[in-house]
Amino acid sequence: MAGSITSPCVGLCSTTLGDPVCRGCQRGDDEILEWFGLSGDQRAARMAELDALRESVAGRFLKVIDADCLEAQLRRYRIRFRPEQPALSRAVELLRVGRTRIQALRRYGLEPSEAALGLDVAELHARLSQALNEAAERRTLETSDAPPSYRLRHTPVHAMPETLAETVPRTMPRTMPETMPEIAEVPSDESLLPPDLLDFLNCATPDGWIAWALENPELLLIDHAQCEKKAASTAMSLLYRYVNEPLLLTKMSQLAREELLHFEQVVKLMESRGIVYRHLSASRYAEGLRQHIDAQEPARLVDILIIGAFIEARSCERFARLIPHLDLELAKFYRTLVKSEGRHYEDYLMLARHLAPGPIDDRVAFFAEREAELIVTPDKAFRFHSGVPG
């Protein structure tokens, strides 16, 4: 069983508000979108780049005088860090979370550099954050294979020619293209799914389900729409129930908006094909997993998040398995969903690990077995997450 995909995401996600580079993880929008499709080695190389960027900038404002003390404080306040993450890169995250509460940097194994002497922690963080964001924008612009439209969208206003800068707002809104680009060839499932997700699932979708789906194109889209609506509802219920978990609130808010957008897109696609949206009874899949949820907190929340990861991972895998068999319009649409469902799987699993009081590997393994049983055993009615034909 593989663990969660390594990601620099800290839950700030300012690109959703129009920033060309995220102020939390220092990645550009395109890099965030493609992260799930990178290999483990490629992600490790990118993480090293981002750590080096943080070290370079943070070193202008901070000195690490006691790395063990810094790590102890990070653990004390449950601030995520990686074993291989350099101390200065960890310090950036400490200041982001604790900038309004930290009074004496030395108590956290840090001290200001000469350039930052006399600044309180909040002002030091503000200057470091601005410098880091500018450096991250320069890194994005140096992407050698970025097309001109990418470079224009990611060029800081202060770096543009004066006449152009006057026409560009400080925060450039993100817009969806009116039409999807044509693709010459629909990729196979192997080219779309990263090994991490396949390792997370205990089994692949059986060919019998693929054939069943192709025999029921209307039910496929109708139940797909219901799944998107249910996913948004689940995210909203977590928002209301767990109001004291900031990272969860951020991630679930984003996920709910994206799932509702997908719901609208599926309904529009159905309308164009003359398919009437109607209510369908739920499949056994989700309930078959949820019946094993622990009744006590925080185990209950962790179980819900693990189940969310499996549902999103299975959705992602099934989209990819279906793509080679679909018409071009639906195949292109499902191809875009593979990336988003993959990010949702990553987010759910990251939250489960972040909020659990201890390791969750045994619980993940338990639900992996239950999930695989539901996928490979006979089912009575076809649904997007049903088993094989009974």
At residue 83, does pLDDT exceed 50?
Answer: yes
- 211 or 182, which is more confident? 211
> What average pLDDT does range 8-22 have in this prediction?
66
What's the confidence (pLDDT) of residue 31?
80
**Global pTM value:** 0.55
- 68 or 183, which is more confident? 68
Residues 6+ apart with CB under 8 A from 89: 50, 51, 54, 55, 58
Instruction: Bin 11: left if φ > 0, else alpha if -120 < ψ < 50, else beta.
Output: left
What's the confidence (pLDDT) of residue 33?
67
Residue 357 banded pLDDT, cuts 50, 70, 90:
very high
At residue 304, does pLDDT exceed 80?
Answer: yes
Helices 299-322 and 217-241: angle between axes, nearest 10 degrees: 160
At residue 145, does pLDDT exceed 50?
Answer: no
Residue extent(s) of CATH 1.20.1260.10 domains in the chain: 189-389
What's the confidence (pLDDT) of residue 63?
95
Model confidence pLDDT, tens digit, residues 159-180: 433 333 333 333 333 333 333 3
What's the confidence (pLDDT) of residue 175?
34
Amino acid at 178: E
For residue 349, CA distances in Å to 17, 212, 267 come to 24, 30, 29
- Structurally, at CATH architecture level, domain 189-389 sits in Up-down Bundle (1.20)
CB 285 within 8 A of CB 374: yes
What's the confidence (pLDDT) of residue 28?
80
What's the confidence (pLDDT) of residue 18?
53
- 1 or 390, which is more confident? 390
At residue 263, does pLDDT exceed 60?
Answer: yes
SS3 64: strand
At residue 147, does pLDDT exceed 50?
Answer: no
The mean-pLDDT minimum among 65-69, 192-196, 308-312, 332-336 falls in 192-196
> What average pLDDT does range 202-220 have in this prediction?
94
Residue 86 banded pLDDT, cuts 50, 70, 90:
very high
What's the confidence (pLDDT) of residue 142?
73
Model confidence pLDDT, tens digit, residues 87-112: 999 999 999 888 888 889 999 999 99
At residue 217, does pLDDT exceed 50?
Answer: yes
Q: Tell me the percentage of the chain whose pLDDT exceeds 70.
A: 82
At residue 148, does pLDDT exceed 80?
Answer: no
Q: Tell me the percentage of the chain whose pLDDT exceeds 90.
A: 60
> What average pLDDT does range 232-254 have in this prediction?
93
DSSP for 318-358 reads: HHHHHGGGS-HHHHHHHHHHHHHHHHHHHHHHHHHHHH-SS
What's the confidence (pLDDT) of residue 40?
85
- 284 or 5, which is more confident? 284
CB 258 within 8 A of CB 217: no
At residue 224, does pLDDT exceed 50?
Answer: yes
Residue 233 banded pLDDT, cuts 50, 70, 90:
very high
DSSP for 66-93 reads: -HHHHHHHHHHTT----TT--HHHHHHH
Ranked by mean pLDDT, which of 27-36, 120-129, 381-390 comes out on top?
A: 381-390
What's the confidence (pLDDT) of residue 24?
82
Q: Show the tokens assigned to 249.
A: 């609130």
Model confidence pLDDT, tens digit, residues 271-292: 999 999 998 888 899 999 999 9
What's the confidence (pLDDT) of residue 348?
95
At residue 261, does pLDDT exceed 50?
Answer: yes
Mean pLDDT of the chain: 83
